[in-house]
Structure 1
Amino acid sequence: MTETPENPQPTPTPAPAPSGPPAPDAGDHAFSPVTSSASTEPSAPAAPAQPAFMAPGGAPAPQPYQDGLPPYAGAAAYPGAASDPIVPAFPNVPAYDPNVPGGVPPYGGYPGAAPAPKKGLSKGALFGIIGGAIAVVLIIAAAIIVPAALRGPAVTASDVVENYLTALSEGDAEAALEYVDPYGEEALLTDDVLAASLELGAIEDIEVTEVTDSDEYEATVPVTFTIGGEQISRDFQVYSYGDDEWQIADGLISVAGFYGFEGLGLTVNGVEAPETAYVFPGTYELAVGVEQFTIEGDATTFVVASDADAEVLWDLRPTLTDEGAAQFRTLVRASVEECVAMKTLTTPCGMDLTDIDLDGHAPVEGTVTRTLTAEGQATLDSLTAEVSSGSIVTSYDTIDVDMTLQGDQGGAISEFEVWFGGYLGSPKVDFADESPAVVWE
């Protein structure tokens, strides 16, 4: 009987060769399995075959790394390994280097690997950066300097005053207004009014003192010029609003003295004047539109170069012309004579006798007799005409009229002479009406 030994060992058999195409030459960059050298000693039984990793579509998938490391190309063979060079599964993986501890040089792709040292900028790059910075600085400087050069020298307070007076002398109201604040009614700040001013008296010989001691915000600028040959010397107060924006505070003159001219069609250089207005320095002619009136004092043309010159305008008042006064007396006389001829107890002129005391007698309608006295005639001849308001003229003179009437007491009629009462009213005429007439009040 033949004895079988315990734990018999299987007869060693060589591992089956890997299937697939033959390994490429060492110089080819293709995947290659790791082979081991032949051994004469018995080997352990082969491990059961593992299923191959398959990619979608059936293609073999890359094998996982052993020990978490990829194969290295060009590395020296390990003991028992094939001498063929190993091609990396991924490009750019550093090869094994026996002179480096661990056999693998630092590689930026692995966690914990030291970063590669940074290279300094080349001279070309440095020159490019410096040149770009200089270009930016030059562009900014050009943006500041070029507009300033185009603007020219900064405008001074004296420049503004000279420009203002020059614009006036040239009849350019719009340009002149650029240097002042109108701050009010502008009806008289027009080219037409300015043209009439220059025709009455040209603005010439402008001399402006260059102010050097002004502060940042205000300046007093002395000037001299002529208006119609009349020498003018005055100061202008000029204020700065920033960015060389100077304006003249007292370049315009207030002419707020036109009170009492309502309804008379007052004009200044041919333009109807408001009650308050402003004018440029210049010459101004005032006129009224109602022919029976004129300006008190007979002065109608004024040179106005400052507020002090305008004070004379505050006291101006309208007055009747001699022809206007005569027309007023004529109208009043005609109205009085018409009323005196009436026999009624009342008249449009007044002389009302309806409530007169006749010692118990009632005044009888239609029995009144009125007669102008000699004094009354004389008063009418020299009747005082006063301008009441605007175009309205009145008189407060007393005109004597004798009056008699009859009184009735229980059918008994008596004659009475009026000593008290029945006075004329005050005549008023508005010459602005197309047909002036007397109204008694």
Structure 2
Amino acid sequence: MSDNDDKAPDQHGSKPLPAFPGAAAEPDAPVTPQTPPASEQPPAPQMPPAPRMPSEPQAPSVPQAPSVPQAPSAPPAPPAPPAPPASQAPYAPQAPAAPYAPQPSASPQPPQYAAAPQPGGAPYGSPQYGSQPQPAGGYTPPNKPKGKLGTGAIIGIVGGAIVLVVLLVIAVGFGVSRIGGTPGGGGGDKGPAAEASSASDAVKGYLTAISESDAKTALSYLSSPPSDSTLLTDEALEASNKLGPITKIKVPKSDGKSSSDDVTASYLLNGEPVTTTFSASDYDRDGKWEISGGTGSIYTRSFDGLGLTINGVAVDAEQVDVFPGTYELATTLKNFTLTGPTTVTITESYSSADTTEIKPALTDEALQQFHSLVRAAVDACIASTTLTAGCGIDIPSTISDGTQLTDGTITRSLSADANATIDSMKATPSYDNPTLVEGEYIGSPSVTADCTKDGATGRCSIYFAPSLGKPSVDMASDNPVVKWD
């Protein structure tokens, strides 16, 4: 019996069993029938490696043995059948020869086979025999397996994922902290908006909040808070309550039979009794009553440019909205003051404070400065001997009757009444521009000059000479200058 006889199929056609699960010769069984005569297989003598394999019992003991089936990826052997020539036969045995050559050297390299279990879970990998038909190019040594990662790599990936999750948790927590945490402080921010279950509750809560200088709560009772909130602040309310506190608030109960109601409230404003009516409604029937209007206004156009303040708050608008209460107007310009009833009150919704009697004026020091500026300007103009003197008293070189005046010979003088007018002149801020202060009409000076008429030369008196104009000074300027109209 030859060495190939033990691999020949028996007379019943059954397939010989492999020597052991890791035997690489097993896949070659199909190749053997393809070679015509047994004697035509020169490589057959190479088959003795089969006896060597018994030394490989280590493969079964190690779960990595499944990697051995990868060696049969020598599917190059199956392509051999299409070529009957004997020249193809040598190649069939060479395919298994490759696995045998690495196996003796592979035994000291179990780690490479350890990575092989990737193809499947069964150690002997019988399903792999069915998957052997692969392209010839797929035949590669099993020392670079694809699939499962080593323990170290898995630990690294898991550890990295844990770190990433921790960082995400920290980032989310930080974001929540930043969103949820708001710094405290600020006027009018004293708690959630109040809600009233009836019209009378809304009015009572509104007036109470105002009396306590709580602007935010007061605004929460209004159906449409004003867009301008310059004076709708705790600061303005605190000043208002110092000037005229609101006390003894009385509001009758409303019946609540309809979705709107007018409520008449009474209270003391700086000790003076006040009775006023507020309109409240619950049109959407959500149980929350709100006040329509509720605020008044102060017109400030006539104080433009004066650095106006109301209850100590700077105001730069033509009109401002205010809560019911007491308000004091003032200016921050050093040369100006406000005269008249500078304190006004608001008691009715949609009402406007009466400021018609409040007028800007110069301070005593500023008034003296104004008189001094006008006096200096007039004196300089009167002292001029030229035709062009300024202050509105320039004269032409030829007057209306044809008389020619000699420039440089002009003399001017003021009457006692005119001088008295300068010293006692009233200074009135302009209506359109209150920082521009205007003086009074002074009058015409007496004028003489050397003159020539009809060939005669002499000294002439000028009748109906131009008069001094009306002086005006911008008293808000750092360097005020007198101008003449």
TM range (shorter): 0.5 to 0.7
Alignment pair present for 1:275 and 2:318: yes
Any idea what SS the aligned residue of 1:263 has? Answer: coil
Distance 1:155 1:331, change over 3 A: same
Distance 1:359 1:202, change over 3 A: closer
Task: Map 1:188-267 onto structure 2 (within 5 A).
Answer: 188-212=231-255, 215-216=258-259, 218-242=260-284, 243-256=286-299, 258-267=300-309
Amino acid at match of 2:210: L
Structure 1 residue 244 displacement after superposition: 2.6
Amino acid at match of 1:328: F
Q: Is the 8 A contact 1:356 1:421 kept in 2?
A: no
- Give CA deviations for 1:287-334 in whole Å, capped at 9, x if unaligned: 12234433332x222332226974422443323344443332222111
Q: Identity rate of aligned residues, in percent? A: 39
The RMSD of aligned alpha carbons is 2.6
Aligned equivalents of 2:400 and 2:451: distance in 1?
7
Aligned equivalents of 1:248 and 1:153: distance in 2?
11
Structure 1 residue 348 displacement after superposition: 3.0
Q: Is the 8 A contact 2:209 2:215 kept in 1?
A: yes
Aligned equivalents of 1:356 and 1:184: distance in 2?
64
Task: Map 1:224-373 onto structure 2 (within 5 A).
Answer: 224-242=266-284, 243-256=286-299, 258-273=300-315, 274-297=317-340, 299-306=341-348, 310-354=352-396, 357=399, 359-373=401-415
Amino acid at match of 1:261: F
- 2:416 paired residue number: 374
Q: Is the 8 A contact 1:370 1:401 kept in 2?
A: yes
Amino acid at match of 2:417: E
Structure 1 residue 260 displacement after superposition: 2.0
Q: Is the 8 A contact 1:386 1:394 kept in 2?
A: yes
Any idea what SS the aligned residue of 2:373 has? Answer: helix
- 1:422 paired residue number: 466
- Give CA deviations for 1:151-186 in whole Å, capped at 9, x if unaligned: x99711111112212221221212211122233432
Structure 1 residue 402 displacement after superposition: 1.2
- Give CA deviations for 1:252-311 in whole Å, capped at 9, x if unaligned: 01212x2321211111011122221110111211112234433332x2223322269744
- Give CA deviations for 1:326-359 in whole Å, capped at 9, x if unaligned: 3322221111011111112122311010265163
Alignment pair present for 1:398 and 2:442: yes
Distance 1:347 1:416, change over 3 A: same
Any idea what SS the aligned residue of 1:189 has? Answer: coil
Q: Is the 8 A contact 1:362 1:409 kept in 2?
A: yes
Amino acid at match of 1:198: N
Aligned equivalents of 2:416 and 2:314: distance in 1?
46
Instruction: Give 4+ residue runs of structure 1 displaced > 6 Å after superposition.
Output: none
Q: Is the 8 A contact 1:386 1:395 kept in 2?
A: yes
Distance 1:251 1:154, change over 3 A: closer
Segments of 5+ residues of structure 2 without an aligned counterpart are: 1-193
Distance 1:311 1:162, change over 3 A: same
Aligned equivalents of 1:414 and 1:338: distance in 2?
26
Distance 1:346 1:363, change over 3 A: same
Aligned equivalents of 1:211 and 1:318: distance in 2?
46
Query: Mean Cα displacement is larger for which, 301-310 or 330-339?
Result: 301-310
Query: Mean Cα displacement is larger for which, 300-309 or 357-366?
Result: 300-309
Any idea what SS the aligned residue of 1:177 has? Answer: helix
Any idea what SS the aligned residue of 1:377 has? Answer: helix
Aligned equivalents of 2:232 and 2:424: distance in 1?
44
With normalisation by structure 1, the TM-score equals 0.60
Aligned equivalents of 1:188 and 1:153: distance in 2?
23
Aligned equivalents of 2:478 and 2:282: distance in 1?
53
Aligned equivalents of 1:312 and 1:367: distance in 2?
57
Aligned equivalents of 1:252 and 1:332: distance in 2?
46
Q: Is the 8 A contact 1:263 1:391 kept in 2?
A: yes
Structure 1 residue 211 displacement after superposition: 0.9
Aligned equivalents of 1:341 and 1:229: distance in 2?
62
Query: Mean Cα displacement is larger for which, 319-328 or 161-170?
Result: 319-328
Q: Is the 8 A contact 1:255 1:314 kept in 2?
A: no
Structure 1 residue 385 displacement after superposition: 2.1
Segments of 5+ residues of structure 1 without an aligned counterpart are: 1-151
Aligned equivalents of 1:166 and 1:307: distance in 2?
16
Distance 1:432 1:381, change over 3 A: same
Q: Is the 8 A contact 1:185 1:276 kept in 2?
A: no
With normalisation by structure 2, the TM-score equals 0.54
Aligned equivalents of 1:406 and 1:247: distance in 2?
84
Amino acid at match of 1:377: N
Alignment pair present for 1:435 and 2:474: no
Query: Mean Cα displacement is larger for which, 168-177 or 312-321?
Result: 312-321
Pair member with larger Rg: 1
- Give CA deviations for 1:80-120 in whole Å, capped at 9, x if unaligned: xxxxxxxxxxxxxxxxxxxxxxxxxxxxxxxxxxxxxxxxx
